[in-house]
Amino acid sequence: MSFSVWAQMLLNHLFSNIPVASVRLIVDMLLSILVFSWKLNRSRWLLLWSPQQTKMMRLRLLTTW
């Protein structure tokens, strides 16, 4: 049995026991975590590769940490 099939079965089992509102909340949390980590990685990448950044960009980077 492949991992994706197993994961799909596990998700189906979990979601069948959870109300729809909770599923939406979990999905929203996961999406926000993904977006935050993407922004964090993008900011780090910009910090590494463009030393001629403005002070505002550096300030924004510090606030995301």
What is the tens place of the pLDDT at every residue in 16-63?
666 767 777 888 888 888 888 777 777 666 655 555 555 666 666 666
3-state DSSP assignment of residue 65: coil
Question: With 60 as the cut, is the pLDDT of residue 1 above it?
Answer: no
Question: Where are the domains positioned within the chain?
Answer: 3-64
Helices (H), the chain: 3-16, 20-49, 55-64
Residue 54: the pLDDT is: 59
Residue 61: the pLDDT is: 63
Residue 38 and residue 42: Cα distance in Å, rounded? 6
Residue 29: the pLDDT is: 82
Residue 42 and residue 39: Cα distance in Å, rounded? 5
Residue 2 and residue 16: Cα distance in Å, rounded? 21
Per the model's pLDDT, the better-predicted residue between 7 and 46 turns out to be 7
Residue 63: the pLDDT is: 67
